[in-house]
Structure 1
Amino acid sequence: MSLLPLEKSNEQPIAAPPASEPAAVDVEYRWQGNNRVELLENGEAYFPRVFEAMRRAENEILLETFIVFEDKVGQELKSVLIDAARRGVRVTASFDGFGCGELSTDYLAALSDAGVHLQIFDPAPKHLGLRTNWFRRLHRKIVVVDGAIAFIGGINFSADHLADFGPEAKQDYSVQVHGPAVADIHHFALLQCGRPVRARYWWQRRRQRRSELAIGDHDGQVRLVHRDNGDHRTDIEQVYRQALRTAKRRVVIANAYFFPGFRLLREIRNAARRGVDVRLILQGQPDMLVAKLAARMTYDYLLKSGVKIYEYCDRPLHGKVALVDEDWSTVGSSNLDPLSLSMNLEANVLIRDRGFNRTLFERLEDLSDNHCKVISPETAPRGRVWHMTVGFLVFHFLRHFPAWAGWLPAHKPRLKAFTSATGSEPYERH
């Protein structure tokens, strides 16, 4: 088996540009009105919807994901994509080389041989049994079907997003989008996989501006925001900070990996200080212990300002969602930690819709009221002196981490096409 760079592939239409990662997109997407957005909670809601949309696809399926496992969900994904490709649907699937690094060659070859245009972001063999592609991951989770329906959020294609997985099943969220915003998500996904994209003509841009202004109370408006290592390094962090600065009544953030830099922490603190009801729902039963330890380094700073902190203890929290006041929400792939805010390729949608905001608030309120442990200044974990010293140093290090991360050298992750034919760059998967 081999992975060939796209520029060497015979599939010229999907040839990627000679960039260090999938097409760094110098595009800032605007608010689009007249959309219908539905919250999908956990795999029980997400997988049936996305698989049904794929089964009904007539022309095209675009997929980006961080993780695929060869469990019952991964096997169903393979079956659905193969069936679509065999009936003539153009299927392009982009997998992250780290998150999907354990997929077998048989699994990948079955997709490729059926006609799926399979691409691996930053494939790298293990050295001395260790992976070498730890940083700058393709962390987005996007599906677009026929340019008409889009799914975006934090849910991977793995059975650990289903309750029957057991105590380690993840709590997570995605959204299904219908409407003008799908065109932006589709445009973005095409650019990422190296497919040709027609420029938008003046009348299309004019129609977009009209749709933005069509709904005065903001209901049904959606905007795509993404993070890359080119011109959009801080876009997701900036929209969080802006939303926090304008918050008047409430802020709820549910995030799996919470260890943001100083500027974002300061906006959270400032919102609470001016009387906004600020609630954080974080991991109490993490899939990685370091996530819990890192988040707890911020507790004293936030609790002293009146921020309410809840730890979700039923199972691992994997969500990346937030809401502000009664109409602004965001759902996506981006955690609030150094990897997501400074290195990974991420995508969120911003949503201005009172009905969606209310639904998300009710789900999160149920989570915090019935399934979380409340952390107060009196009950907050107290570390030893050296714990507090480390926390202080790491906390202030993060004030400058995004700038320093951009200096990290050498490693240039690339998007490569998988082919089952033997090629010049063998890449053995295990």
Structure 2
Amino acid sequence: MRNFGASEFPWRGGNRVALLENGEEFFMRAFALIDAAQREILIETFILFEDKIGLELHRRLIAAARRGVRVELTVDGYGSPHFSPEFLAGFTDAGVRLRLFDPHPRWLGVRLHAFRRMHRKLLVADARVALVGGINFSADHVRDFGAEAKQDYAVEVEGPAVADIHDFLRAALASQGVGNAWRPARQAESVAQAGATDVMFVPRDNHRRRGSIEREYRRAIRAARREILLANAYFFPGYGFLRDLRHAARRGVKVTLIFQGEPDMQVALVAARTLYRYLIEAGVQLHEYCERPFHGKVALVDDDWATVGSSNLDPLSLSLNLEANVFIRDPSFVAELRNNLQHLLQHHCQSVDPAQVPRGRFWHVLTRPLLFHVLRRFPDWAGWLPAHTPRVALAKPPPDEAGAGTTPP
């Protein structure tokens, strides 16, 4: 059995945490923190669109910058491929620094460089309060977007753990957005305690921390005694992760997994379903969320461990993208997350009937070992994909547009 050893990331005590469900709760808190900020706002997001949410963020960040707040906003150059000159000019004129992580021009209208993206979603206001999760700044995270509105989660953190998140974001700004040089301090900085919750902040990069988030998941799964409840939008982890889930179910742990049933990318469901028989045979309970696209990346183990973040459990998140999760030890928070996910299970999910999952054909004796060999080796193979040193470009309006733009109403 693989020995993960001690984590390099410290647990910080004395925090307050709050679960934020969907854009309605997340954007309300994000905008309130921006409006109240007095010194500094640091934000990373994979997606920022010029829709009603993006324009509202734009307006509030400009207002913050104009009252003297330092505003640093980093978006991914693949996830956020285009901004109008007026949008950029509004930021530039106010002093908001908008950075694009590894931007590239389209080739014949196609966005390339789809791998090794900056997929984190982080916000820190005045080095005091942080938001961490999977919610982008786009209107498809709120209900009135319609049937394609996403189900998703984030968490608000206040207390000593925020110092780690803040220091990481400052390090990322100084290192082309990667943040791989960041090291958590041995002792938490003198940030006032705000509660009684233990929080650990864990980023993933393509240097020393390739498996950091997966290791924390597997550490908790292997220690589980009664329950594992995992809800993840894109589920296609490595063989070791799957084996740990099976072993947990076979030793009597109730293992429940929630996947997308109405995915925004159909390949996500196709990939997950190839694993159904392997999991069901061990007693793992599977459910598909079918109300709308599921975009969450959350899990809980027993009564005292949970995680919320940006990392899916698929090859992109576990092997290539830059990600960030928080891990939480707090029975009250775990109970709240469990109640939320149980509501989804009871009202918006379809159970996967083991009798309806096709049994293996005779040729699966050969193909299943091949599948799991691929799963086991994929992280190493992914490292062979063409790589380069990412660059972070400061976004500015075209020269002939500079000064001509106006802030959207």
State whether TM-score is above 0.5. yes
- In 1, are the aligned partners of 2:231 and 2:296 still within 8 Å (CA)? yes
The aligned length equals 389
- In 2, are the aligned partners of 1:86 and 1:114 still within 8 Å (CA)? yes
Distance change in 2, residues 1:413/1:385 (3 Å): farther
Corresponding position: 1:63 with 2:40: no
In the alignment, what sits opposite 1:38?
A: 18
Distance change in 2, residues 1:136/1:210 (3 Å): closer
In the alignment, what sits opposite 2:403?
A: none
- In 2, are the aligned partners of 1:140 and 1:346 still within 8 Å (CA)? yes
1:396 Cα offset (Å): 2.5
1:132 Cα offset (Å): 1.2
Aligned with residue 182 of structure 1, among 152, 159, 162? 162
The C-alpha deviation readout for 1:334-375, integer Å capped at 9, x for no partner, is: 000000000000000000000000000000011112110001
Corresponding position: 1:396 with 2:376: no
- In 2, are the aligned partners of 1:33 and 1:211 still within 8 Å (CA)? no
In the alignment, what sits opposite 2:231?
A: 254
- In 2, are the aligned partners of 1:32 and 1:211 still within 8 Å (CA)? no
- In 1, are the aligned partners of 2:10 and 2:186 still within 8 Å (CA)? no
Distance change in 2, residues 1:106/1:271 (3 Å): same
The residue type paired with residue 260 of structure 1 is P
The residue type paired with residue 314 of structure 1 is E
Corresponding position: 1:53 with 2:33: yes
Give the whole-Å Cα distance in 2 for the aligned partners of 1:288 and 1:193: 31
Aligned with residue 198 of structure 2, among 221, 225, 240? 221
Give the whole-Å Cα distance in 2 for the aligned partners of 1:346 and 1:386: 37
The residue type paired with residue 69 of structure 2 is V
The residue type paired with residue 169 of structure 1 is A
The C-alpha deviation readout for 1:134-177, integer Å capped at 9, x for no partner, is: 00000000000000000000000011111111110100000000
In the alignment, what sits opposite 2:9?
A: 29
Aligned with residue 230 of structure 1, among 207, 210, 231? 207
Aligned with residue 138 of structure 2, among 158, 169, 172? 158
- In 2, are the aligned partners of 1:285 and 1:314 still within 8 Å (CA)? yes
Structure 1: runs of 5+ lacking an equivalent: 1-26, 424-430
The C-alpha deviation readout for 1:30-80, integer Å capped at 9, x for no partner, is: 100010000000011110111011011100000000001111101101001
The residue type paired with residue 300 of structure 1 is R
1:418 Cα offset (Å): 1.6
- In 2, are the aligned partners of 1:327 and 1:357 still within 8 Å (CA)? yes
- In 2, are the aligned partners of 1:168 and 1:315 still within 8 Å (CA)? yes
Percent sequence identity over aligned pairs? 55
In the alignment, what sits opposite 1:318?
A: 295
The C-alpha deviation readout for 1:355-407, integer Å capped at 9, x for no partner, is: 00000000001111211000121122679999998776444212111112122
Corresponding position: 1:272 with 2:252: no
- In 1, are the aligned partners of 2:214 and 2:318 still within 8 Å (CA)? yes
Corresponding position: 1:358 with 2:328: no
Secondary structure at the counterpart of residue 334 of structure 1: coil
- In 2, are the aligned partners of 1:28 and 1:225 still within 8 Å (CA)? no
Give the whole-Å Cα distance in 2 for the aligned partners of 1:365 and 1:39: 15
Structure with higher RCO (Cα < 8 A, 6+ apart): 1
- In 2, are the aligned partners of 1:297 and 1:388 still within 8 Å (CA)? no
Aligned with residue 59 of structure 2, among 79, 87, 95? 79
Distance change in 2, residues 1:323/1:58 (3 Å): same
- In 2, are the aligned partners of 1:92 and 1:118 still within 8 Å (CA)? yes
In the alignment, what sits opposite 2:392?
A: 415
Give the whole-Å Cα distance in 2 for the aligned partners of 1:76 and 1:388: 55
Secondary structure at the counterpart of residue 400 of structure 1: helix
| TM-score scaled by length of structure 2 | 0.89
In the alignment, what sits opposite 1:243?
A: 220
Distance change in 2, residues 1:207/1:72 (3 Å): closer
In the alignment, what sits opposite 1:172?
A: 152
The C-alpha deviation readout for 1:307-341, integer Å capped at 9, x for no partner, is: 00000000000000000000000000000000000
In the alignment, what sits opposite 2:174?
A: 194
Aligned with residue 120 of structure 1, among 97, 100, 120? 100
- In 1, are the aligned partners of 2:160 and 2:188 still within 8 Å (CA)? no
Secondary structure at the counterpart of residue 185 of structure 1: helix
When the two chains are superposed, the root-mean-square deviation of aligned CA atoms in Å is 2.8
Corresponding position: 1:337 with 2:314: yes
In the alignment, what sits opposite 1:7?
A: none
Secondary structure at the counterpart of residue 169 of structure 1: coil
The residue type paired with residue 208 of structure 2 is D
Secondary structure at the counterpart of residue 33 of structure 1: strand
Corresponding position: 1:102 with 2:82: yes
Distance change in 2, residues 1:62/1:209 (3 Å): closer
Corresponding position: 1:296 with 2:273: yes
The residue type paired with residue 182 of structure 1 is V
In the alignment, what sits opposite 2:116?
A: 136
Distance change in 2, residues 1:85/1:327 (3 Å): same
- In 2, are the aligned partners of 1:282 and 1:312 still within 8 Å (CA)? yes
Give the whole-Å Cα distance in 2 for the aligned partners of 1:134 and 1:210: 38
Secondary structure at the counterpart of residue 113 of structure 1: helix
Moved more, 172-181 or 99-108: 99-108
